[in-house]
């Protein structure tokens, strides 16, 4: 991608408090001196020698100054009328559309998802802009009558303040847009620590926002990588009263830590965490459809979606037939260069994701399991990239660690059930509750499934992944803290209700005490 090559010459963006630096430039030393921090490279996971850029980790001092600048910007940004703010969101959607192909190719180059999926990633952000551009003319509150005369009652949505957010690299445009589009629309200011795996994509995300007309310091990017660095220091900003609201998409373990810090400071973070998503195939299902869907849900994005398939639960009556169909499709599946249109999946996002995945193969697969796919592990013929083989593990039981561990890679389990009751028990037993799916033609099964499955999102005769932006996105149990992104529901994350009562009577009227209620005639009998 041309634009991408050019950007390596751009070396520093001080106004965001984040740093992007070119290897070998003298400014690198300056950044090192100022931050005492490390720097990191963004590499193409399909061709490791292809370095997209070098980035510096923002220091504690920089984080603080960025948050303080954002706090100041909040004072004016919150006063911009919401339809005007929405106009900027509309512009952002237009610019994303104009740059869709270039941005999609950058996503694929930087984190390895197939180009078709990268276009979907950008489209999801465009959809989000379209949805919230209209919300600028709603942000509805209520008017309600008072129990006292000459008194008016209203409710308003008010912005929260400085919103800090850490996102993952698997959806580097869609997921940030789920947070920042509504957060900005509602009048908040943002400080973003994007994934270390997609800094250049994040840079362009921010650049497009600014080109849409956003005022200075309203949106800020802090690059960073690794434990004991920018991300952790940003979380500490909650303790220092630099941040009013935190958002995080990533692992349950990190989500718990953020939840603890926020809880201590009486804040409710927005947490979108892991999943071990079940898909049930009943005896009456369309097996052709269900097997195509399992392949996509398990191996699309190389299994690196929080909505990817974890446990495939097959009714005993169709188990063998289904697996035959599925394995035939796996055998034909194309894995390789993610820029190609016909690829099911490309490389793992980064070395870390690949080594975690290989570690899971070593530690979670036990002698009683049967691996239905061969070979397994890293692909030898594609050594230059972070490619791994797909893995399907059969004969998984509820006591097995692999049943309830999120594996985040092209791997899923097969379990067998006798009836729907058992399928639901297996689907609900992992402790997670993000996405789920059932394949059946039976309306009674569907009704029972909807009632009893504990997951924030469920699909009927569709894959567990593939959420649309105007439905609530989020999970139960270990998948989050009950918060929901997307659609109108996310407004509750980025606004607080204010109740206003306006007394025009000119005297002190006491609610409850001076309200003139009418007594019934209690002596009356029929």
| Angstrom distance (rounded) from CA 340 to CA 276 | 29
Residue of 309, 467, 485, 490 interacting with ligand UN1 (CB under 6 A): 467
Token look-up 């830590």 returns 257
3-state helix, strand, coil in the chain (%, to 5): 40, 20, 40
* Pick 167 or 212: Cβ nearer ligand UN1: 167
Cα-trace Rg, the chain:
25
Q: Which stretch binds ligand UN1 (CB under 6 A): 84-92, 216-224, 395-403, 461-469?
A: 461-469
Question: Taking Cα atoms as reference points, which of 284, 288, 286 lies closest to residue 325?
Answer: 288
* Pick 136 or 169: Cβ nearer ligand UN1: 169
Q: Are 230 and 224 in contact, with CB atoms under 8 Å apart?
A: yes
Question: What is the set of active-site residues?
Answer: 272, 306
* Pick 429 or 472: Cβ nearer ligand UN1: 472
Smallest separation (angstroms) from ligand UN1 to the CB of 118 = 12
Q: Which stretch binds ligand UN1 (CB under 6 A): 170-178, 201-209, 310-318, 347-355?
A: 170-178
- Asked if 305 is part of the footprint of ligand UN1 (rule: CB under 6 A), the reply reads yes
Residue of 44, 104, 170, 188 interacting with ligand UN1 (CB under 6 A): 170
* Pick 56 or 172: Cβ nearer ligand UN1: 172
Residue of 465, 479, 481, 495 interacting with ligand UN1 (CB under 6 A): 465
* Pick 56 or 247: Cβ nearer ligand UN1: 247
Q: Are 77 and 219 in contact, with CB atoms under 8 Å apart?
A: no
Mention every residue, 6+ apart, whose C-beta is less than 8 A from residue 271.
Answer: 247, 248, 255, 258, 259, 480, 481, 483
| Residues from 335 through 394 that contact ligand UN1 (CB under 6 A) | none
| Angstrom distance (rounded) from CA 122 to CA 205 | 10
* Pick 155 or 462: Cβ nearer ligand UN1: 462
Q: Which stretch binds ligand UN1 (CB under 6 A): 80-88, 205-213, 258-266, 301-309?
A: 301-309
- Asked if 162 is part of the footprint of ligand UN1 (rule: CB under 6 A), the reply reads no
Residue of 35, 249, 252, 479 interacting with ligand UN1 (CB under 6 A): 249
Residue of 175, 234, 285, 309 interacting with ligand UN1 (CB under 6 A): 175
* Pick 104 or 465: Cβ nearer ligand UN1: 465
Smallest separation (angstroms) from ligand UN1 to the CB of 137 = 26
Smallest separation (angstroms) from ligand UN1 to the CB of 158 = 28
Q: How far is CA 27 from CA 6, 31, 33, in A?
A: 18, 6, 10
Is the omega angle on the peptide bond into residue 26 within 30 degrees of 0, that is, cis? Answer: no
- Asked if 293 is part of the footprint of ligand UN1 (rule: CB under 6 A), the reply reads no
In 381-501, alpha helices (H): 401-404, 420-428, 443-452, 491-494
Q: How far is CA 191 from CA 185, 219, 430, 441, 499, in A?
A: 15, 6, 34, 47, 28
Q: How far is CA 235 from CA 183, 355, 417, in A?
A: 18, 26, 43
Residue of 123, 466, 488, 509 interacting with ligand UN1 (CB under 6 A): 466
Structure tokens at 36: 């005492």
Mention every residue, 6+ apart, whose C-beta is less than 8 A from residue 119.
Answer: 100, 101, 104
Q: Which stretch binds ligand UN1 (CB under 6 A): 136-144, 153-161, 382-390, 464-472?
A: 464-472
- Asked if 128 is part of the footprint of ligand UN1 (rule: CB under 6 A), the reply reads no
Smallest separation (angstroms) from ligand UN1 to the CB of 300 = 8
Smallest separation (angstroms) from ligand UN1 to the CB of 201 = 15
- Asked if 171 is part of the footprint of ligand UN1 (rule: CB under 6 A), the reply reads yes
Question: Taking Cα atoms as reference points, which of 500, 494, 498 lies closest to residue 82?
Answer: 494
Smallest separation (angstroms) from ligand UN1 to the CB of 331 = 25
HEC readout, 430-464: CCEECEEEEECCCHHHHHHHHHHCCCCEEEECCCC
Q: Are 314 and 322 in contact, with CB atoms under 8 Å apart?
A: yes
| Angstrom distance (rounded) from CA 199 to CA 447 | 44
State the number of binding residues for ligand UN1 (CB under 6 A): 11
The secondary structure element, H or E, covering residue 31 is helix 27-35
Q: Which stretch binds ligand UN1 (CB under 6 A): 37-45, 214-222, 253-261, 465-473?
A: 465-473
Q: Which stretch binds ligand UN1 (CB under 6 A): 12-20, 52-60, 169-177, 425-433?
A: 169-177
Q: Which residues sit at the interface with ligand UN1, rule CB under 6 A?
A: 124, 170-171, 175, 249, 305-307, 465-467
């Amino acid at each position: 991608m041309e634009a991408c090559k050019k950007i390596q010459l751009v070396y520093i963006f001080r106004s965001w408090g984040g740093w992007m630096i070119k290897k070998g430039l003298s400014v690198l030393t300056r950044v090192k001196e100022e931050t005492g921090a490390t720097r990191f490279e963004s590499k193409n996971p399909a061709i490791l020698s292809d370095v997209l850029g070098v980035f510096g980790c923002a220091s504690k001092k920089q984080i603080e100054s960025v948050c303080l600048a954002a706090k100041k910007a909040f004072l004016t940004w919150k006063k911009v009328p919401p339809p005007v703010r929405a106009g900027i969101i509309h512009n952002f959607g237009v610019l994303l559309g104009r740059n869709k192909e270039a941005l999609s190719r950058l996503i694929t180059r930087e984190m390895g998802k197939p180009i078709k999926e990268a276009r979907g990633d950008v489209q999801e952000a465009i959809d989000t802009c379209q949805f919230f551009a209209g919300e600028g003319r709603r942000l509805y509150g209520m008017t309600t009558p008072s129990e006292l005369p000459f008194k008016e009652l209203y409710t308003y949505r008010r912005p929260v303040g400085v919103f800090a957010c850490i996102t993952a690299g698997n959806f580097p445009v869609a997921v940030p847009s789920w947070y920042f589009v509504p957060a900005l629309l509602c009048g908040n200011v943002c400080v973003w620590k994007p994934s270390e795996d997609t800094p250049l994509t994040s840079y362009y995300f921010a650049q497009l926002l600014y080109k849409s007309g956003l005022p200075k310091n309203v949106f800020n990017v802090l690059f960073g990588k690794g434990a004991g660095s920018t991300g952790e220091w940003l979380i500490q900003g909650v303790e220092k009263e630099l941040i009013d609201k935190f958002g995080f998409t990533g692992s349950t373990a990190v989500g718990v830590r953020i939840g603890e810090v926020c809880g201590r400071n009486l804040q409710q973070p927005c947490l979108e965490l892991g999943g071990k998503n079940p898909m049930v195939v009943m005896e009456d299902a369309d097996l052709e459809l269900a097997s195509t869907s399992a392949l996509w849900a398990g191996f699309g994005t190389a299994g690196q979606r929080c909505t990817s398939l974890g446990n495939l639960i097959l009714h005993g009556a169709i188990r063998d037939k289904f697996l035959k169909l599925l394995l035939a499709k796996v055998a034909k599946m194309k894995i390789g260069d993610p820029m190609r249109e016909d690829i099911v999946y490309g490389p793992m996002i980064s070395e870390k994701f690949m080594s975690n995945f290989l570690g899971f193969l070593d530690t979670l697969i036990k002698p009683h399991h049967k691996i239905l796919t061969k070979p397994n592990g890293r692909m030898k013929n594609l050594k230059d990239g972070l490619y791994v083989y797909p893995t399907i593990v059969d004969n998984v039981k509820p006591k097995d660690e692999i049943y309830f561990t999120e594996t985040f890679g092209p791997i899923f389990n097969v379990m067998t059930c006798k009836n729907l009751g058992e399928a639901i028990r297996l689907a609900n037993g992992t402790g997670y509750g993000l996405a789920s799916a059932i394949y059946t033609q039976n309306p009674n099964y569907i009704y029972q499934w909807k009632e009893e499955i504990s997951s924030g999102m469920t699909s009927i005769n569709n894959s567990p992944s593939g959420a649309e932006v105007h439905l609530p996105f989020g999970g139960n149990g270990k998948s989050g803290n009950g918060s929901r992104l997307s659609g109108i529901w996310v407004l509750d994350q980025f606004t607080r209700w204010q109740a206003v009562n306006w007394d025009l009577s000119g005297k002190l009227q006491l609610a409850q005490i001076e309200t003139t209620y009418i007594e019934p005639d209690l002596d009356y009998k029929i």
